[in-house]
Amino acid sequence: MAEREKAIADGLDHPEYCGGVIEVAKGLWHGRDDIDLEQLIANSRRLGNRSAFEWLGFWLERLSIVNERTLKQLVSTADMQGDRNYLLLDLTGPAQGVRNARWRLVANILNP
């Protein structure tokens, strides 16, 4: 069985295998007190999937799991400089939604 941090990182890497990004967000929320954030971030970084890393940053911010300093470090690690493309938060959802400039995501599953 995968450790919790690896399971969350893998879920963000392939949300289609775990019920989507909402299920990953639920896992983050319910495990927020037990998750080793440094390990989660390291696992996500190791996967090399920038989209998954942006999704992780978005959810950590949205669920108020990390502080602003950590969020700024995540943004710089995501290396989104110069990228004008916005990724859908839910790849199976509609193409419209609220744009989140920090994470370069279209929040197409949340109420604004």
Q: pLDDT tens digits, residue range 26-74?
A: 999 999 999 999 999 999 989 988 889 999 999 999 999 999 999 988 8
Asked if residue 6 has pLDDT above 90, the reply is yes
Q: According to the model, what pLDDT value does residue 2 have? A: 63
Q: According to the model, what pLDDT value does residue 76 have? A: 82
Q: According to the model, what pLDDT value does residue 48 have? A: 86
Tokens of 30: 């319910």
Question: What are the angstrom distances between the C-alpha of 49 and each of 28, 33, 66, 76?
Answer: 18, 25, 21, 15
Cβ proximity of 12 and 56 under 8 Å: yes
**Euclidean distance between the first and final Cα of the chain, in Å?**
36
**What is the DSSP secondary-structure string of 40-66?**
HHHHHHHHT-HHHHHHHHHHHHHTT-S
Beta carbons within 8 Å of 3's beta carbon, 6+ residues apart: 39
Using CA atoms in the order 46, 49, 55, 57, what is the torsion angle rounded to 10 degrees? 40
Q: According to the model, what pLDDT value does residue 81 have? A: 56
Using one digit for the tens of pLDDT, what is the confidence trace for 63-111?
999 999 999 888 887 765 567 789 999 988 899 999 999 999 999 986 5
Q: According to the model, what pLDDT value does residue 112 have? A: 42
pTM of the model: 0.89
Q: According to the model, what pLDDT value does residue 110 have? A: 60
